[in-house]
Structure 1
């Protein structure tokens, strides 16, 4: 336990096998071997037995080389091109425990491993996403350095001043902490005093300073429909609502959607832009052999049609076990788990996140 949560411990991302590297690059392992043989890509860490292992930074460099020699630019670097707007995704639900943070971090990491430049913005005062990136919000950001400092009403900092590098190549973090709760408390007074910009525009305005540096910005929202969540929604181009397929959660989501619609109508009338490229429901913690869950999923698909992601995120001991040490499935070694359990979890996560990626590409007109 002390090793996992040592006071001065810093997270490091593991290396990836040749098979994993080829999958992430979108090429075959034989083509990857040939690139090494022909001397077209730099050497990587090799074991005494001759097995190659790739860091995320290695993958980034190889991707740049491949794209430069491809027939058309953007074959291997699939992020924004000139004229594309930054894609801003909000993961939200009114109910705690619906898998928002788990979904947000796995999506961010999968996109980063596939070459996208990602900014994670944690706006939950509980700061679970910040913790998963190896920070200790109660120590590191007790008084300052969180998103709150960039959107507060008095003397806000530039957004760039609060962004932290992470151990995960391709991902930066705008951290959260308990101070974020102050935004909820201060906003009613700011509304009375007509402080500009208003609460619903502050996030979008603050992000404008840094958005050119990223392809995708991901919000992990708190489990409530407060001013922070509405500020994130007003800055978003896409929304992913996580839902656990049982009737209590569906009933809760129904109330959440009703309340959201009413509140966002009010905000929209006040001048907030409310146009999303897409809104999708993400089935979370799904157990395919659970009869009642199957019925709930069928009901949701009948009700919302294409707005429910085709791929559900399976409930998996690999995801929960990785979480015990503040890790994700993409961070842990396959050898630490039952291989079938691990593979099933990874396949499920990849299917969800690659579907999200296709929505981003479609929003860019590709």
Structure 2
């Protein structure tokens, strides 16, 4: 009697054996990605391969200065103020960003930094990517600049997203000597060498590149060889000479607890932690604070007399999508967890912010929004309120320093 052969079934999920990739082939992938990014940027920003700052109408300048539209006519006829006249158009005038900022400085209600006090350093941190950390850094800088502040952005993330938001591609346009690395290596004592202007009047930048990964090896190596070396204080020392020039230094950190991140936190006067109200981001944020606690304990062990105090730590609800059913519940978790640390401001997710990000920009980069003005105003007002609250806190800190003398 013949024995039936067993039927060998092949799972329908097994279509083919995946193609292996040698380690050396990663370079080809990286090169293709870099070339595509260049093409995407140039197509998005066409016909101008470089980013251009927005322009402002007379009404917008009046709004920035917190004055009535009619008062603009009154002020520009006062020769003693020497205010920019803008460019005359058929039905209005158009002002460049630099001109608008000059109006804000001369006519706006924002008090200047008192003589004798230094600029404040703010780190934007979270150990999870995709939480709007870089966008928070950029929009805060832009918002503060529209209050007349002089701002320095410091990009510490090897992914260099903050540099890209300023129209600079790390792979092709940033050398190692233009980053913080010469300071890390001890070749420079001040970061002044790395500062470069941006397309946005009032904002300068210290860019990043993938080469920053090497700092994670050099700093612990140097510490092991030199017990007197303060690996956590390198960035702080390099920024110190710049604090007379800038009102605010905003530091964008890598999404990890690294040696560079430690430098940023130890240098910062204030810390802002963007946290979207989603369950996964909330869970990740608890790890951030846990690791941050471990860091604090380790630093006190290494340096028992270390006296580090933040002027403020804020949790910022970012990428808030009110249409999501879980948003309300997670918002409550965040408020109950962090209480007074949570800012009374939420940054919404809108079509405005989404379209701006695809063009390597922010809501502040938009001169005229083509969609719903109501949607644009909702997004813009949230960032304006955020920047104004931080600006008020910074000025209060300056005032307190003067009173304490």
Find the partner of 1:60 among 92, 101, 110: 101
Which one is further off, 53-62 or 166-175?
53-62
Offset of residue 312 of structure 1: 0.7
Distance 1:27 1:229 in 2: 41
Show CA shifts across 1:77-101 (max 9, x none): x342124232111111010000000
- The superposition leaves residues 224-249 of structure 1 with CA deviations (integer Å, 9 ceiling, x where unpaired) of 01111110011101000110111211
Matches within 5 A, 1:302-341: 302-341=336-375
Match of 1:98 in 2: 131
Q: How has the CA–CA distance of structure 1 residues 317 and 192 changed in structure 2, closer, same or farther, with 3 Å as cutoff?
A: same
Matched, 1:121 2:161: no
**Cα pair distance change 1:329/1:232, threshold 3 Å:** same
Cα displacement (A) at 1:173: 0.3
3-state SS of the aligned residue for 2:178?
coil
Distance 1:268 1:55, change over 3 A: farther
Q: 2:90 aligns with which of 11, 34, 49?
A: 49
The 1:194/1:8 distance shift into structure 2, 3 A limit, reads farther
**Structure 2 residues without counterparts, runs of 5 or longer:** 1-39, 401-405
- Of the two, which has the highest radius of gyration? 2
Q: Which residue of 2 aligns with 1:252?
A: 284
Say which SS state the counterpart of residue 125 (structure 1) adopts: coil
- Give 3-state SS (helix, strand or coil) of 2:273's partner: strand
Structural RMSD (CA): 2.1
Map 1:1-366; keep pairs closer than 5 Å: 2-4=42-44, 9-39=49-79, 40-66=81-107, 75-76=109-110, 78-150=111-183, 152-156=184-188, 158-194=190-226, 197-271=229-303, 272-365=306-399
Shift of 1:157: 5.9
Give distance in 1, aligned partners of 2:228 and 2:116. Answer: 29
- Asked if the contact 1:234/1:273 (under 8 Å) is kept, the reply is no
* Residue 346 (structure 1) shift: 0.6
**Counterparts of 2:58 and 2:47, CA distance in 1:** 34
Q: Deviations over 1:247-267 (max 9, x none)?
A: 211111111101111112211
Q: 1:55 to 1:268 in 2, by over 3 A?
A: farther
What is the Cα deviation at residue 362 of structure 1? 2.5
TM superposition shift of 1:313: 0.6
| Conserved 8 A contact 2:156-2:254 | yes
Q: 1:140 to 1:81 in 2, by over 3 A?
A: same
Matched residue, 1:71: none
The structural deviation recorded for 1:38 is: 4.1
Q: Is the 8 A contact 1:24 1:113 kept in 2?
A: yes
Matched residue pairs, number? 357
Distance 1:14 1:179 in 2: 32
- How far off is 1:289 after superposition? 3.6
3-state DSSP class of the match of 2:345? coil
Tell me the TM-score normalized by structure 2: 0.83
326-335 or 191-200, which deviates more:
191-200
Task: Say whether the 8 Å CA contact 1:36–1:42 is kept in structure 2.
Answer: yes
Q: Is the 8 A contact 1:13 1:167 kept in 2?
A: yes
8 A Cα contact 1:92 1:221, kept in partner = yes
